[in-house]
Amino acid sequence: MDRLYERSSRRCEAGSLDPAVRDAIAAHAEAHQLGDVLGAARWCCETRSVRLKRPGLLMRLTKSGDPDKEHTTVALILPRYLVVAVAGEQRGIHVRSIRLEDVSVGRGLASNIDTGVSATGLWSGTTEPASFYIGLGDDTDGKAFLDTLRGAIAEVKTA
């Protein structure tokens, strides 16, 4: 099957993120009592995703397809949390977090036609476990982020 997105990831400093994304992450951290998320980040990965195809007719009618031709995903690995922010012109900025000890990562269904990882567990603001797909580039920084995330999960689960 054809890929849905062209993705490129890069490791970055949390302070170099778009100010609106930084503010949204800080507001989420304050609302969920996560502390200084931006200062405590062990790894910060920013992924630019460009949709390669227009959503199908059913997705356009039901508005279930990606509304943005391009969006950015920021993922932060903290000592005990994973924080993910997704920003796009139409969707706005959405931030969520999950405790590393509560998350499991795997390929998921989308990984068959896309690059990234499905993270499953009890995300912030939810009452039941859910999966969230984190798009990553199939490049050095995208792969390094995924390796680091798996290591951080293993570390907190064996501590």
Domain range annotation of the chain: 5-158
Residue 96 clears pLDDT 80, i.e. is over it: yes
Lookup: tokens for 153:
């999960």
CATH number at 5-158:
2.30.29
Rounded Cα gap, residues 155 and 119, in angstroms: 17
Extract the runs of DSSP E, i.e. beta strands, from the chain: 5-11, 43-51, 70-77, 81-88, 92-99, 104-106, 116-121, 130-135
Which three-class secondary structure state does DSSP give residue 65? coil
Count other Cβ atoms within 10 Å, centred on residue 157: 12
152 confidence band (pLDDT: 50, 70, 90): very high
Per cent of the chain over pLDDT 90 is 72
Position 12 scores a pLDDT of: 96
Residue 111 clears pLDDT 80, i.e. is over it: no
**Residue, of 28 and 61, whose pLDDT is higher:** 28
Who's near 145: CB < 8 A, 6+ residues apart?
9, 11, 43, 45, 75, 77, 136
Contact 75, 41 (CB under 8 A): no
pTM beyond 0.85, yes or no: yes
Contact 148, 98 (CB under 8 A): no
Rounded Cα gap, residues 12 and 46, in angstroms: 7
Residue 63 clears pLDDT 70, i.e. is over it: no
CA angle at residue 42 from 72 to 124, to 5 degrees?
A: 60
Contact 146, 135 (CB under 8 A): no
